[in-house]
Structure 1
């Protein structure tokens, strides 16, 4: 299905073409760093444009890989530093999503493992995908040093403020593949380095 050629869709088509230039075949994992709330709509639309181009595109959010409230507050009230350090279960993210997605074939993967609002694990829902599938993951901190190598491409929405602990440790602007200014969501544009 062809999407209407709005300025947003035209921009996202350019982004998909740029990602596909670097990864023309095989499974592709793309991170959208939009902070805690900023990247979901962008990632949803990016996945839709990948689908328009014929890709089997899947969506996930780092929010589906939170740690429990008890774990996050085991040393006292949550601070910006402890949130950066402890809010996400990166082991589960790799074990049930990133590693099996990359394996291809009939390996099943899950797009979420934990429901932060209910503060409990989610029921496993295993998915499979074709050999050239695309996974678009949005959320906070996807460009932290321990995750950088897990993405074929990454998009940093530069108009979203980032926590100081993350910026100091990860330098996301320097490590993102693409910088996008989405100050006007209807007309995103490339941001300078």
Structure 2
């Protein structure tokens, strides 16, 4: 399995602290196992220890990518977590003819779908690649949204049309309420 930037961001965005409350798709072992099965094809139950490792990797990856999007230095303790997970399984970085790099596991060409260590190593390596190569990584500009995404247009500020529409509607409401120009 190749961990592209969209899949990596889906992993990082499984926990969102919004003003309306916490959304955590990996909140408990059952939820985490369901997400792993749906997104990565991992179909085995996970232990409490594996769940803790998954959450630690996700949270550290999120801090690193948020630091990257803000132009800050990544927190050293989070770098340690991601780097330790990244070296946990043998893999190879490969480049295709379109200048795209991908992580492939050296032993079989793809991680074992039932080996969580290999899946986490692949995700960690993808976080490293995304943080190192992406100048277009940003956090949604809507006040109540913290989704990380890759900006495909320099003018894009929101991760979805819904967020952009909410911000524009709030601005319009504020202008009309204050008696300003429409």
Report if TM-score (shorter chain) is over 0.5: no
**Higher RCO, Cα 8 Å, sep 6+:** 1
Considering fraction of residues, name the structure with more strand: 1
TM-score by length of 2: 0.29
